[in-house]
Amino acid sequence: MSETGTQDESEQSLRRVRKFYQIAAEREWQRLEQPNDGELEFAVHKAWIERFLPPTPARVLDIGGGPGRYSLWLADLGYRVTLADLSPDLLSIATQRAEEDGVSLDEIVQADARKLSHFADESFDAALCLGPLYHLLAEEDRRSAAAELFRVLKPSGVVFAAFLNRLAVLRVAVDQDLPFFTSYTFDLVRRWYEEGIFISPIAGIFTDTFSMHPNEIPPFMEGPGFQTVELVSSQSIAADRQKHLSQFKEKQPELYPWVMERLVALSNDPTTVGSGFHLLYIGQKP
C-alpha cells in the first residue's frame, strides 16, 4: 500500500474509532466491572499501576482514558489526574461520573494522543495510555504517540501503555468465537496476523485495531527513550476463560478472590505474557 493509501486508511480508521465509541460510550464504562469481560483486566492493571506509581499527590495523565474508570480511581487515591480522550461522548460520561462520585479531576480535555500540544514538556509524573496505541494503524502515528508520552513525562516518570497481542489472533481463529467467520475470513485473519491490522467487517463488535507481537513492544517503547520495567499479560493466563468468570464468581464466592489474586501474581511471568489479549507495558523515562 502506498504512503498516501496508508494515510487515507488511518484517517478513515480514526473516524470509525470515534463513531464506535460514540455508540458504545456507556458500554465502555461498564466493561471493566463485568467478570465475563474486563474485571480481570482491571484488577491486573490496577495492581501493577499501584506498584510503580510515585506517591500521591503526583500528577498523572490518563490519555485515551475514555469514560474515566482509571482516572476516577486514581483521583480517589489522592493523585492529581488529567483525563484526555479523543471522544467527547466518553469524556461526557467521565464528567458525569466524577460529579456523581464527588471526585475532582485536575482537567478533562479532548485530545489526540499523537499531538499532546495542550501539555507542556515534563508536565506529569506518570502517564496511562491504555487504548490509543492499539487504535493507531499507521506506524508513524504510533511512534508520534509514544514520543509525546515521553515528552510530557518528567525525568523518572512512569508510563503504562496497553497493546493488543498479535499472538491472540490465532487463538481467536481457532476458537471461532466472533461472528465474522464467512467466505472472506481468511484474508481478514491473515492480514490481522501478518500486518497486525484488524478492521471489523461488522459494526458494533469492536473498532479498528493494531496488534503487536510481545517481543516487539519493548523495543518500540524504547525507541523514544523509555527504559523497560515490565511487560504484563492483562488477562494473565485466563484471557479466553473470562466468559466463565461470572459463573465462577457466583458459584465459588470464597474461592474467587484467591484465584484472582493468583492470576494477578502470574501476570508478568515470562510463560504468561503471550497469553493475554491485552498486554501492559511499564516503562520509565530516565
204 has a pLDDT exceeding 70: no
28 vs 72, 73, 111, 113, 140, CA distance in Å? 15, 16, 18, 19, 27
pLDDT digits (tens, 9 = 90+) for 4-44: 555 567 777 777 777 777 666 677 777 778 777 788 899 99
Dig out the grid coordinates for 169 from the structure: 489472533
Number of H helices, E strands in the chain: 11, 9
Spatial contact of 249 and 35, defined as CB atoms under 8 Å apart: yes
Domain boundaries, the chain: 3-284
pTM for this one? 0.90
Q: Report, as an integer, the average pLDDT of 254-275.
A: 93
For the chain, first and last CA: distance in Å? 37
At 82, phi and psi to the nearest 5? -110, 120
- Measure the CA–CA gap between 228 and 281, rounded to whole angstroms: 8
Q: How many CB atoms lie within 10 A of CB 201?
A: 13
Candidate CATH numbers 3.40.50.150, 3.40.50.300, 3.40.50.10740, 3.40.710.10; the one for domain 3-284? 3.40.50.150
Please give the pLDDT value at position 24: 64
Q: Which residue has the higher pLDDT, 141 or 178?
A: 141
Per residue in 87-119, pLDDT (tens digit) is: 888 899 999 999 999 999 999 999 999 999 999
Residue 130 — φ and ψ, nearest 5°? -105, 35
